[in-house]
Chains A and B, each alone.
Chain A
Amino acid sequence: MPFELKPAPHITPPTSVPLVMRRLLYALVPAAIAHTWYFGWGLCINLAIAVCAALAAEALVLRFRRRAIRPGIADMSAVVTAVLLAFALPPLAPWWLPALGAASAIVLAKHLYGGLGSNLFNPAMVGYVILLISFPIEMTQWLTPAELAPAADRLGLWAQLTYSVTGQLPFDLSLDALTQATPLDQIKEGLGEMRTLNEIQIGPLFGSYGGRGWEWINGWIALGGFYLLYCGVIRWHIPVSLLAAMLSFATFMYAVDPSRYPSPGFHLFSGAALLGAFFIATDPVTAAGTNGGRLIYGAAIGILTYAIRTWGSYPEGLAFAVLLMNAAVPLLDRYTRPRIYGRA
């Protein structure tokens, strides 16, 4: 009887791309629950819209490119992009914000470069930056954490859905009453008004380290990051070098003038530092591909993020830092190749 001819090795890998993507999603579940706890149903609505928009955009582009649609959808990479983008959006947002962000992430950042594996820039961050530049007002209206808002001002699922779809709030509420700037925003503004940090940080938005609510969400994000490290989905190099670089920079500046520069703990637990360190900068497609490169890449993102937060015109700089370093990856990879066995 004739036997089949298959090339060696005759062992199938235990992992797969969809499994890696699913693990990323599992790792974000606790943070999503915490987010919903503090800021209401907004994240869930944004997640649903962004995921649908991303999948629709993926299917459409694959069709235009005459590629098979099913595997492109089934690999879950579009879902991961949409979920990471939704985490970066304000919870109270009109429906077209996550939809537009997700669609532009998939179409512009991913498929124009050749689809999964070929994109130079992190799609979620491209989507985020497009929204941030195009719709600065919608992108900076953050809900007040639930525990600070009076019971009457908390929005239910229905009210948030209504706002998302129609832009209408219940008649007795106004947008100004519901939203506030983020802690990072407030610090930026406060410092601009020549107030000291002590004066700014006695505000109700600030918790023990970072922003109230934020510090807990970020804690759960870090836990998800540890799960990814444990599963081997990500390596330690990027998160460690990113956080170490950012924290040591922050510690130095804090030591120089604690009234103008927030503590390293605040930088760690506010904004997107932990989400970026574990979930965004570690995106394998757009990150450096050698261990040496990963260390430089992570450290540079940490330093750039701190610099943009402190001296730039935007309160959060992670997205810009990631995109800047994405562009440097080919160079990093080129100059950090390991020495090949048996070569001098």
Chain B
Amino acid sequence: MTEYQIHRHMTGGVRLVARKRMSTARTINRTLRPKRLIIPMTQQLGPPATPSVVPGQRVITGQPVGEPGRAPSAAAHAPRSGKVLAVEERLVPGGSQLLKSQCVVLAVDDKSTDADIEPASEWPNLDADRIQAIRNAGIVGLGGAAFPTADKLGATERCGTLILNGAECEPYISCDDMLMREHATDILRGTQTMLDLLGAERCLLGIERDKPVAIESMAAAIADLGDARIRLAAVTSKYPAGGERQLIELLTGMEVPSGKYPIAAGCVCQNVGTAYAVGRLVRLGEPLTTRIVSVTGEGVAEPQNVEVSIGTPIRELIEHCGGYVGDVPRLILGGTMMGYAVSSDELPVTKATNCVIAVHSDEIRDRYEEWPCIRCGDCADVCPARLLPQDLLPRSRTYDFDQLKILGLNDCIECGCCDVVCPSHIPLTAYFRDAKRAQRLHEQHQHLADTSQIRYLRKQERLRLQDEQSELHHTELKAQVAKDSGSRQETIQAALDRVQRRRNSDDRIT
């Protein structure tokens, strides 16, 4: 198989110390047996699933506990057998922040007779049924954004290229790397299914060059499979090469239009973990109940990749990896560039959790000082969206939304590159996230104000019309009255005349 030729270089980006090796020394650990599971109903970008179990009920492995909501949504399943303790609202990790979600809390009993395992579902023959099966299996994008896979595959726009994302550009994370090393065949099986469902001509698999073992393993599997549609491309190990838009730019030379999904450029992007989940569904009929999570950082005793049941509390996961070592001031979900710090390890692992970093206090130097922006422009050099962060910054501070729109605040992918090169140590990404939030609020208010104004104007118009009509009515009435009174006068006059005439004639008689 020949290596796919890269079309062009990526705009911007930074080379970072990857720190992935600490978690790739061991093979994927599959022995974690959690005692308790917290299964959130919101594990996808879209409406939550509806809980379909009640407290006290016993569930078996693989049994659905949440029905998919209105599209785009996905189902939730019990990864292990056990008893439902509660169905309650809790704080759970979302794609980029914590959010409130209904959760099914499970006390695991881990009985594993046949009666305790949901029978495998049959892989249907029709495309529409297959997409429904993927939705019912609760499969979402496992790269971090957790967009329901069924809705991506079922889109009506034409897709020419399936981009399979195995770049994994963020520091520390290695779950996709390990998956590609150990499960290349299942990944490709899922990829073929997705290609068929999309009707796409080709699949380009992008892997960063710093993962030679994964590249070799995938290349061998592709050669074995002999599917000419699937081609492998080793891409530069430069963050954020694994960003959806950046990978499409790297592999196809096309740019996704501003504010649109990749499908607008004829591409659909799927993570290798998602392809693996689809592959398992096709081969074994299994719903998505586990995922691979990198547990890493200097603050954990045995950093490694673990196959984790969805809903496992992070604390149990860390304990499984030997627990914390030393002073661990920070816990990060995701990588060090886009992941977010959480205050508690009681939170569950969700479908979007690709990495848990226990940060040792020696590991991260904190920014103590911040200097004013000296407009050096290093941020603009590394921005993959070709924005000018030095110009966005003052306008983000003052919420100058008109200028921010022109300067492309909404094209910012919040990758954090500008932050890590800023000599003034300004938390640029935090400013931009805040400005985006403020902009959304502002737009909501603007929308409210606009709709109220329209309502007000309509009312004014209505009142005016009403007035006009009543005026008209009034004049008509007046005219009527005038007319009526005129005719009455005539009648009276006629009667008077008659009387007068009679009188006159009476006079003559007498």
Contact = CB atoms under 8 A, between A and B. Distances in A.
Interface of A: 2-13, 15-17, 19-20, 71, 75, 77, 115-118, 232, 235, 284-285, 287, 289-290, 333, 337-343
Nearest to B366: A12
B126 interface: no
Contacts of A4: 329-330, 341, 343
A117 B245 CA distance: 33
Interface residues of B, number: 65
A13 B421 contact: yes
B343 A13 contact: no
Contacts of B423: 13, 15-17, 19-20
A71 to B, nearest CB: 6
16 contacts: A2-B344, A3-B331, A3-B344, A6-B341, A7-B429, A8-B416, A9-B429, A10-B364, A16-B423, A71-B369, A337-B407, A341-B385, A342-B255, A342-B256, A342-B258, A343-B258
A117 B373 contact: yes
B249 interface: yes
B257 interface: yes
B293 to A, nearest CB: 17
Nearest to A333: B391
Contact of B258 (A10, A19, A341): A341
Contact of A340 (B340, B343, B376, B385): B385
**B interface majority secondary structure:** loop
B416 A9 contact: yes
A116 B372 contact: yes
A340 B408 contact: yes
A337 B403 CA distance: 13
Contact of A17 (B342, B371, B386): B371
Given A340-B408, A342-B257, A289 B433 contact: no
Nearest to B359: A10
B339 interface: yes
**A interface majority secondary structure:** loop
B364 A11 contact: yes
What 6 A-B pairs have minimum CB-CB distances, sorted nearest first?
A: A9-B416, A117-B372, A342-B258, A7-B430, A284-B376, A17-B371
B159 interface: no
**Which of A290, A337, A340 has the most chain B CB atoms inside 10 A of its CB?**
A340
Contact of A343 (B328, B408, B429): B408
B411 A343 contact: yes
B142 interface: no
Given A7-B430, A7-B433, A17-B374, A289 B390 contact: yes
B349 interface: no
A6 B341 CA distance: 6
Contacts of A285: 374-375
A13 B330 contact: no
Contacts of B407: 337
A12 B411 contact: no
A285 B256 CA distance: 33
A17 B334 CA distance: 30
Given A10-B364, A12-B366, A117-B375, 15 more contacts: A3-B344, A9-B416, A9-B419, A13-B419, A13-B420, A13-B423, A16-B369, A17-B424, A117-B372, A287-B375, A289-B391, A333-B388, A338-B386, A341-B258, A343-B411
A10 to B, nearest CB: 4
Given A9-B336, A340-B411, A118 B421 contact: no
Interface string B331-362: 11010111111111100000000000001000
A289 B329 contact: no
A17 B338 CA distance: 24
A5 B376 contact: no
A118 B372 contact: yes
Given A3-B329, A16-B423, A341 B245 contact: yes
Contacts of A289: 375, 377, 380, 388, 390-391
Contacts of B374: 17, 20, 77, 116-117, 284-285
Contacts of A339: 386
Contacts of B387: 340
Given A5-B343, A17-B424, A337 B388 contact: yes
A5 B422 CA distance: 21
A10 B419 CA distance: 9
B384 to A, nearest CB: 7
B385 A10 contact: no
A342 B260 CA distance: 9
B57 to A, nearest CB: 34
B86 interface: no
Contacts of B331: 3
B249 A290 contact: no
Interface in B256-294: 256-260
Contacts of A12: 364-367, 420, 425
B34 interface: no
A71 B424 CA distance: 12
Contacts of B343: 2-5
B425 A13 contact: yes
Contacts of B408: 340, 343
B245 A5 contact: no
Contact of B330 (A10, A15, A284): A10
Nearest to A114: B372
B420 A11 contact: yes
Interface in B373-431: 373-378, 380, 384-388, 390-391, 407-408, 411, 414, 416, 419-425, 427, 429-430
A239 to B, nearest CB: 15
A338 B338 CA distance: 25
B377 A284 contact: yes
B283 to A, nearest CB: 37
Given A3-B344, A337-B388, A342-B255, A8 B338 contact: yes
A181 B316 CA distance: 80
Contacts of B336: 8-11
Contacts of A343: 257-258, 408, 411
B193 interface: no
A26 to B, nearest CB: 16
Contacts of A10: 330, 332, 336-337, 339, 341, 359, 364
Contacts of A71: 369, 371
Contacts of B171: 11
A19 B424 CA distance: 10
B252 interface: no
B11 interface: yes
Nearest to A294: B377
Nearest to B426: A13
Given A340-B385, A340-B408, A16 B371 contact: yes
B197 interface: no
Given A17-B371, A285-B374, A341 B384 contact: yes
A278 to B, nearest CB: 15
A190 to B, nearest CB: 42
Contacts of B245: 341-342
Contacts of B430: 7-8
Contacts of A9: 336-338, 416, 419-420, 429
A6 B330 contact: yes
A232 B382 CA distance: 13
B382 to A, nearest CB: 11
